[in-house]
Amino acid sequence: MGWDTKRSYPVDACKTVTVRATAGQKARWKAAAQRKGMGTPGAFLAWAGDMAIAFLDTWERANLEHANQVNPPGSKL
């Protein structure tokens, strides 16, 4: 699509992932990339993927911590 450049990616970004987008998604991601100062919508997608994983990791840790506080390991009901 001509959107991708190496500028907004880590230097060792050698893999590629194909993403299909509707016209609405394409426009939305393009605007989001511009707002974040990223060179391409692809860079925004890569960032969003990393942030989603960071969020999910944090959520799982916090969820486990909460469960352990409510029911400490080894405690009896």
What tokens appear for 8 in the block?
Answer: 């907004």
**Where in 10-49 is the site for other proteins (CB under 8 A)?**
10, 12-23, 25-26, 28-29, 31-32, 35, 41-46, 48-49
Under rule CB under 8 A, residue 76 binds other proteins = no
Under rule CB under 8 A, residue 62 binds other proteins = no
Find the farthest-apart pair of alpha carbons in the chain and give their distance in angstroms, rounded: 61
d(CA 66, CA 72): 9
Of the candidate residues 51, 62, 64, 67, the single one contacting other proteins (CB under 8 A): 51
Total number of residues that touch other proteins (CB under 8 A): 38
Report yes or no: 30 and 41 within 8 Å, Cβ to Cβ: yes
Q: Determine how many CB atoms are found less than 10 A away from the CB of residue 42.
A: 20
Nearer to other proteins, 2 or 72 (CB): 2
